[in-house]
């Protein structure tokens, strides 16, 4: 679902520590990309999917709750904040 709103090149760039450092604005560029993916990016992706699922459920059932959202400052080709 993320590929509908974000470019594949941006999503692939998140495999690199320096890109993640620029997005989250925390000095994590010394950590391996696989570690960042496992401990930082995957939880963010799950929360983002929760927002997408919540919107879908609200449209089809009239209401939904997602307590894991709140990521912002993203565009099609970049993220931040």
Burial 5-17 (b: 16+ CB within 10 A, else e): ebeeebeebbeeb
* Of 60, 61, 72, 73, catalytic: 73
Of 43, 61, 37, 48, nearest to 4 (Cα)? Answer: 48
Task: Give catalytic status of residue 61 as yes or no.
Answer: no
Radius of gyration of the chain (CA): 14
Q: Which residues are catalytic?
A: 73
């Amino acid at each position: 679902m993320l590929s509908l709103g974000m470019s594949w090149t941006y999503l692939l760039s998140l495999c690199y520590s320096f890109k993640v450092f620029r997005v989250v604005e925390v000095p994590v560029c010394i950590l391996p990309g696989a570690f960042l993916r496992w401990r930082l990016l995957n939880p963010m992706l799950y929360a983002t999917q929760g927002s997408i699922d919540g919107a879908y459920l609200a449209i089809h059932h009239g209401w939904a709750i997602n307590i894991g959202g709140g990521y912002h400052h993203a565009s099609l080709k970049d993220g931040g904040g």
